[in-house]
């Protein structure tokens, strides 16, 4: 993965949320997909669970009035097994103003015949604070 490919990957996983484009999000995900959030780990085993989770993120964006998601690349590490660890800073913005403090996450990114896809995000912010759902209490992802 080149720096330019990582930048394009981050642009895709940002734009899909402001364009409400599940197909773009899905095209960058390798199932099963896991997120490690402040509230605990979340496993999305199939496309239906991924779609439900995507909708909850869109709900949290509506609550926060997010109109831009910007991800700044920090580092890219070759794991030498066809995977890469990409670390980036995320900013959620409304009319150019931050709605949350920036936060840093890392994604495990795989080279696949369909292109670069991630199977996991470490330190995902999670929608639980805004949507009122919690996967371990309610079984909602």
Delineate the domains of the chain, giving CATH numbers in brackets.
Answer: 3-138 (3.10.450.50)
The pLDDT tens digits for 44-83 are 999 999 999 899 888 888 888 889 999 999 999 999 999 9
The pLDDT tens digits for 106-115 are 999 999 999 9
Query: Are 115 and 27 in contact, with CB atoms under 8 Å apart?
Result: yes
């Amino acid at each position: 993965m080149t720096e330019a490919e990582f930048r394009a990957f981050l642009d895709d996983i940002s734009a899909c949320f402001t364009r409400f484009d599940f197909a773009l999000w899905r095209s960058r995900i390798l199932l099963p997909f896991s997120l490690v959030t402040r509230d605990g780990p979340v496993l999305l085993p199939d496309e239906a669970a991924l779609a439900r989770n995507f909708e909850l993120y869109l709900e949290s964006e509506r609550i926060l009035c997010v109109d831009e998601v910007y991800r700044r690349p920090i580092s890219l590490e070759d794991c030498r097994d066809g995977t890469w660890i990409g670390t980036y800073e995320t900013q959620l913005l409304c009319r150019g103003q931050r709605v949350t403090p920036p936060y840093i996450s890392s994604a495990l990114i795989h080279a696949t015949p369909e292109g670069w896809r991630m199977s996991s995000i470490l330190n995902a912010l999670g929608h639980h604070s805004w949507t009122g759902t919690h996967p371990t209490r309610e079984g909602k992802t």
